[in-house]
């Protein structure tokens, strides 16, 4: 066995609510300390050397991943105005190339494009590979073509810290402009004059708080601050309505939203408040122009509706009219407006789906019951995920959707809004062949301690499964299984196909997703039952699912792996503390495992805005006690209740030095504390020294990264070693 790195213990006292915590590794938070960097490099060297025996398996997995993917490919073209836009990927190149070809404005059938050759009239809008030359990392946070098709705004991040530099590139042979804007965040909107655009900036805590306006060809110091949000619990984001009528500013916290807007034809005009913020009231809007060119606002809101309802009003009116009422258990996620129809994104039976409402015309486009006039877009497999794909054009009769499941490669289709006809444009191709009939997917329901049924989606090789007497497909015998979880922010981990996952399935490993509370799979109440004071429910749900899978002989503790990232990494750490005996190994990527320390430090990125999700332990003694009781770093123990040594599952943790969301020090400190608890605990840490929250940016490096993670999992749960 190799000897893992150690780090000096420099006790740091943190006192709140008459309680003192001693953190021996608090000093590791100093990113610019050479000793910290040296320690991270030592951890990387230890991890790399320890994984050397897995190198052959890693290479095998990498080749499998790479060989299943069409490296030279194109996306389905998307029409916007006079152009079809699409992306190319080419074998050997890490990044996509954004392209366009002229379109017939009346033609809604995408052109047929050969991935191996260039189409007549094709132009390169932006080649990320050229931009990445000389850099180890590249992320594009802004890529937006002006309404007149003359310019493209590009926001680049070469460090992974999500602070972008925006430049303006010429697309039609005109003289270039020197415009360059720094520290730009996500979100961008061109005005209709193609001379002005809007963007956001962050404060020192990485909170997007300012909306700025820039005029093409002018120096950045002349930009105009349009709006500043001083409440630290709120962030701002900007976009443009699909009908090109409005520039919309969304101001929101975790529980409250407010919308302001201005005419996209009058970029220097002042913002207008749509509805003032009211604590606990969330709403999102879409703009619609009817056949008489009257403007309407459509609003999805939780006011008097836990799972949201849809309302509408004419712009000049102040009276909202309900279009779709509250339906408990049917969460309305959003509304998208087009010239003749609406697309409603919602959740039904724990799955994401889309409802099409059309045709909208006449004096009162919303006169009849919308649900009676709507149709669902269904998938052939259950559980499945139906979601909106790229839908740029307002003047269209087609809705583009993405249909997938754990056994169904992503299918991109256009749905004719008036008839419901589905036109398949492309289905993800798996090189080497893929036979969906060799696999089976389904959903289990596991009863939690309070009687609530927790959904669990799974996929496995068909020959490993049997159908029991009650008609439910089950594992034929206990075997290796990987259980994934997240459970925060009302984010749903919906079942979707991954060709990378086939390397697990083909080795006899079952893959499952525990849709635990704190996520949004089963509606808003599902989220509320796993946040703030009820956050521990997320962790107990996950352990209950794992225990039931073992009891029902799907797997064993010696063959069960678990995986999660970010807030899902918090779930991994909490589950390890609650029931270490259930799991063989754990993968925790950019894990939020030092939750209490982070939530006590308002100077750290995102902390203040996160108090509505986790609680404010600085202000509330109750929130402090709750978080202290589950924060993974604070609950690592050397012994069990009976005094025996506590042995934790084998851990592979990953962080990013430039991560602006979860500090790199969180997994670094956690790994050290696990080793301190028991020298037999095998814990490995890999820190990306030039990347952030999302890991490596190039696709080949990302595949290599995934191959290493899968090699760790496969080795742990398919080996006979205990």
Give the residue numbers annotated as catalytic, written as ranges. Answer: 566, 659, 693
Is the separation of the CB atoms in 88 and 74 below 8 Å? Answer: yes
Q: How far apart are CA 711 and CA 722, in angstroms?
A: 17
Q: How far apart are CA 131 and CA 296, in angstroms?
A: 41
Other C-beta atoms within 10 Å of 193: how many?
17
Q: How far apart are CA 215 and CA 190, in angstroms?
A: 10
Q: Which of 564, 626, 631, 575 is nearest to 598 (CA)?
A: 631
The dihedral through the CA atoms of 391, 107, 290, 245 has a sign that is positive
Q: How far apart are CA 169 and CA 188, in angstroms?
A: 15
Strands (E), 607-722: 650-656, 683-688
Cα 364 to its chain centre, rounded Å, is: 38
Q: How far apart are CA 92 and CA 78, in angstroms?
A: 25
Q: In what order do the strands lie in the sheet with 164-170?
A: 139-145, 151-157, 164-170, 180-190, 196-202, 208-215, 224-228
Q: Which of 498, 521, 683, 509 is nearest to 593 (CA)?
A: 683
Q: How far apart are CA 424 and CA 340, in angstroms?
A: 21
- Burial call 676-711: b when 16+ CB within 10 Å, e when fewer: ebbeebbbbbbbbbebbbbbbbbbebbbbbbbbbbb
Other C-beta atoms within 10 Å of 74: how many?
20
φ/ψ (deg, to 5) at 45: -65, -40
Q: Tell me the Cα Rg of the chain.
A: 26
Q: What is the enclosing helix (H) or strand (E) of 212? A: strand 208-215
Q: Which of 141, 495, 256, 152 is nearest to 353 (CA)?
A: 495
Q: How far apart are CA 205 and CA 257, in angstroms?
A: 20
Lookup result for tokens 């990927």:
89
Q: Which of 241, 240, 236 is nearest to 226 (CA)?
A: 236
Q: How far apart are CA 148 and CA 330, in angstroms?
A: 41
């Amino acid at each position: 066995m190799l000897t893992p790195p150690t780090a000096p213990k420099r006790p740091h006292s943190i006192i709140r609510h008459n309680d003192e915590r001693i953190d021996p590794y608090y000093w590791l938070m100093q990113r610019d300390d050479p000793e910290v960097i040296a320690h991270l490099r030592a951890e990387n060297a230890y991890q790399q050397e320890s994984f050397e025996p897995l190198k052959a398996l890693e290479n095998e997995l990498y080749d499998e991943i790479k060989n299943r993917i069409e490296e030279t490919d194109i996306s389905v073209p998307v029409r916007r105005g006079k152009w079809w836009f699409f992306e190319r990927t080419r074998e050997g190149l890490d990044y996509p190339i954004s392209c366009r070809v002229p379109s017939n404005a009346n033609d809604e059938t995408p052109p047929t494009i050969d991935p191996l050759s260039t189409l007549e009239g094709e132009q390169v809008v932006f080649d990320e590979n050229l931009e990445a030359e000389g850099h180890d990392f590249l992320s594009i946070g802004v890529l937006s073509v002006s309404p007149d098709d003359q310019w493209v705004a590009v926001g680049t991040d070469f460090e992974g810290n999500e602070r972008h530099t925006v430049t303006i590139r010429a697309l039609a042979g005109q003289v270039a402009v020197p415009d360059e804007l720094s520290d730009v965040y996500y979100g961008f909107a061109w005005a209709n004059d193609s001379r002005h655009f809007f963007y956001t900036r962050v404060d020192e805590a990485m909170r997007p708080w300012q909306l700025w306006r820039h005029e093409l060809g002018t120096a950045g110091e002349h930009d105009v601050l349009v709006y500043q949000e001083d409440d630290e619990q709120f962030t701002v984001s900007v976009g443009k309505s699909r009908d090109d009528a409005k520039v919309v500013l969304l101001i929101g916290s975790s529980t409250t939203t407010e919308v302001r807007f201005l005419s996209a034809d009058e970029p220097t005009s002042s913002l207008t408040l749509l509805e003032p913020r009211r604590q606990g009231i969330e709403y999102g809007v879409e703009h619609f122009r009817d056949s008489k060119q009257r403007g309407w606002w459509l609003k999805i809101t939780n006011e008097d509706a836990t799972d949201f309802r849809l309302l509408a009003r004419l712009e000049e009116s102040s009276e909202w009219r309900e279009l779709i009422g509250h339906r408990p258990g049917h969460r309305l996620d959003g509304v998208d407006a087009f010239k003749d129809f609406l697309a409603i994104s919602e959740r039904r039976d724990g799955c994401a789906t889309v409802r099409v409402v059309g045709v909208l015309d006449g004096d009162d486009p919303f006169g009849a019951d919308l649900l009676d006039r709507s149709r669902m877009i269904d998938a052939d497999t259950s559980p499945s995920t139906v979601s909106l794909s790229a839908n740029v054009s307002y003047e269209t009769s087609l809705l583009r959707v993405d249909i997938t499941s754990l056994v169904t490669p992503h299918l991109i289709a256009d749905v004719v809004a008036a008839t419901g006809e589905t036109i398949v444009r492309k289905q993800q191709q798996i090189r080497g062949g893929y036979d969906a009939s060799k696999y089976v997917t389904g959903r289990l329901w596991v009863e939690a301690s309070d009687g609530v049924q927790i959904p669990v989606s799974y996929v496995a090789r068909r020959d490993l499964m049997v159908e029991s007497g009650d008609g439910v497909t089950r594992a034929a015998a206990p075997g290796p299984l990987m259980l994934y979880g997240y459970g925060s922010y009302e984010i749903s981990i919906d079942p979707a196909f991954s060709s990378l996952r086939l390397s697990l399935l083909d080795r006899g490993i079952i893959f499952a997703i525990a849709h635990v509370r704190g996520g949004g799979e089963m509606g808003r109440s599902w989220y509320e039952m796993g946040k703030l004071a009820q956050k521990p429910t997320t962790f107990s749900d996950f352990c209950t699912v794992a225990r039931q899978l073992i009891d029902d002989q799907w797997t064993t503790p010696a063959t069960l792996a678990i995986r999660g990232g970010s807030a899902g990494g918090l779930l991994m750490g909490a589950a390890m503390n609650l029931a270490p005996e259930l799991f063989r190994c754990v993968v925790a990527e950019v894990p939020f495992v030092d939750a209490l320390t982070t939530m006590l430090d308002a100077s750290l990125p995102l902390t203040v805005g996160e108090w509505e999700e986790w609680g404010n332990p600085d202000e509330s003694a109750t929130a402090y006690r709750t978080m202290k009781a589950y924060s993974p770093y604070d609950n690592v123990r050397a012994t069990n209740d009976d005094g025996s040594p506590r042995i934790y599952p084998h851990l592979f943790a990953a962080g990013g030095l430039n991560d602006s969301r979860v500090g790199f020090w969180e997994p670094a400190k956690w790994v050290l504390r696990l080793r301190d608890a028991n020298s037999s605990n095998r814990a490995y840490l890999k820190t990306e020294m030039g990347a952030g929250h999302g890991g490596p940016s190039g696709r080949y490096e990302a595949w290599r990264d995934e191959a290493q993670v899968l090699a760790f999992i496969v080795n742990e749960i398919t080996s006979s070693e205990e």
